[in-house]
Structure 1
Amino acid sequence: MRIMGYSGGVSVSNFIFSGCDTVELAKKYGTPLYVMSEDHIRERCGEIKRDFINKYPKTKAVYASKAFLTKEMARIIKSEGLGMDVVSGGELYTAIKADFPMEDVIFHGNNKTKDELTLAIKNNVGRIVVDYVEELDLIEEIAKEYNKRMKILLRINPGLDIQTHKYIQTGQKDSKFGIPLDNIYEVLEKTFSLKYIDLLGFHFHLGSQILDNESYIMAVRIMADIMKNAKGKYGFVTKELNTGGGYGIPYTEEAGKDLNYFTDPIINEVDKNCVEYNLERPLVIIEPGRWIVGEAGITLYTIGNIKKIPKLKTYVSVDGGMLDNPRPSLYGAKYQAVLANKINEPANNTVTIAGKYCESGDILIWDLRLPKVESGDILVVFTTGAYNYSMSSNYNRIPRPAVVMLSQGKDRVIVKRETYEDIIRNDI
Structure 2
Amino acid sequence: MFLKERTLILLAVLGTLPWIISFVFSTHYSAPVEAFLSGMAVISAAFLLSWGAETAEKDLPRSLSLAIVALIAVLPEYAVDMYFTWMAGKMGGEYIHYAAANMTGANRLLLGIGWSIVAIFAMWKLKKREIELDEGIRLEFFALLLASLYCFLIPIKGDISLLDTAILGSIFLLYIYSATKAEREEFIAVGVPAYLCRLSVRRRRGSVILMLLFSAFVILISVEAFAEGLVNSARIFGVDEFLMVQWIAPLASEAPEFIVAIYFVRKLRTTASFNTLVSSKVNQWTLLVGCLALIYSISLASPSTLPLDDRQKEEFLLTAAQSLLGVAVIINLRFNIFEALALLGLFLAQFIYQTVETRYLLSFIYILIAVPVLFIHWREIFKSYRFVLLLLRGKR
User: TM-score with structure 2 length normalisation?
Assistant: 0.26
Specify which structure has the higher proportion of strand.
1
Name the structure, 1 or 2, with higher relative contact order (CA <8 Å, separation 6+): 2
Specify which structure has the higher proportion of helix.
2
